[in-house]
Amino acid sequence: MLDVYDLYRVVLNENSLVSKIEKGIDRGDIVVIDYDPEDDDPDKQILGKGRRVVIPFTFGVSKAGNKVVRCWQLSGKSRTPNGDGKDPLKNIAGWRMFRVDRIKSWNRSARTLDRTFIETLDASEKNQIRKYNPQDKNMTTIYKSSTIADEFKRG
């Protein structure tokens, strides 16, 4: 059970993270996060826990009532298989939703989502990011959405 000081620390950390998420969306930051899905299934826990490189696009509240951030994941661990649908550590670039309370660290990289970076992506990734919808259907409330994603629609 949390005492008052622990609870205060948790609230401060979450508020700081929320601020970083919102600024990251505004700037088009490319971010390194450490994520812990806190899954009860040990096999899924091993696959899902770890470092990811992401670009945050939308911050809001999920249908389950959790604060979440929708990101384009560039690299790192994932429980969600892409590509062949078999190996979740293979072909992981794609849209992911992360619960804010399970993000253990959020570190801004030196890169941002700009025209130069967009040119490094392959055609498939560009097409997927072009499909970004700021009105995320998996969120009941949206606090912040990216406008930087419009760069993909131009290029």
pTM metric for this prediction: 0.79
How far apart are the C-alpha atoms of 2 and 13, rounded to whole Å? Answer: 15
Beta strands in 77-117 (DSSP E): 94-99, 103-112
CA within 13 Å, CB half, 18: 15
pLDDT digits (tens, 9 = 90+) for 105-135: 999 988 888 778 888 888 888 888 888 888 8
Lowest mean pLDDT among 2-16, 49-63, 138-152: 2-16
The answer to whether the Cα torsion of 96, 147, 111, 16 is positive or negative is negative
